[in-house]
Amino acid sequence: MNTQNHLLTEKHQSVMLSILSQTIPHSMNTEGDQQPKSSKMDLDPPQSMISTSTAANDRLHETIDVLLGSIQVLNDDTQQHSSATLRNQCSLQSLLEDHLKLKIAIQETNISIESLKPNQQVLLQDFAALKQDVEDQQAISYDGTLIWRIADVQKKMGT
């Protein structure tokens, strides 16, 4: 049984009424009321005491109603906060899963890039060889004369 249901039970409310009815008349007598305290010998309480008791009961009922309303508001707030917490936990879990997926994707991308580097080196060497072949083909004359290409002529002449 939760707290809200317990507070609304008849047993709880009757206990609260009896406690409050004992404390309110006692506090009223100690607050300087000039009403004479009734003795056990009085069989009929005076009319002023009955009206005071009725007024005290009315105040007691009003206080209980206010307290029950406050408890209901607190219970509603608690439920709203619980719902918000649950939503936030679900969002956090989803974000953590997304983060993990992104981390794995980044690692896979880095592995792919690293595996392509040796291929890139081979392709650069092939490209340099093809470039040299193209340059060599452009140096060929079609009129029957040959043109010799000597690399590093300055260096060779200086020795």
- Flag whether pLDDT at 53 surpasses 90: no
**Which span out of 55-59, 65-69, 97-101 was modeled with the highest average pLDDT?**
97-101
Alpha-carbon distance of 60 to 65, in angstroms, equals 9
At residue 147, the 3 state secondary structure works out as coil
Q: Can you give the pTM of this predicted structure?
A: 0.42
* Residue 55 confidence (pLDDT) above 80: no
Compute the distance between CA of residue 151 and CA of residue 155 in angstroms, rounded to an integer. Answer: 9
Cα dist from 91 to 84, 120, 122, 136, whole Å: 10, 43, 47, 65
User: CB-side exposure of 125: number of CA atoms within 13 Å?
Assistant: 6
The predicted structure's pLDDT at residue 47: 59
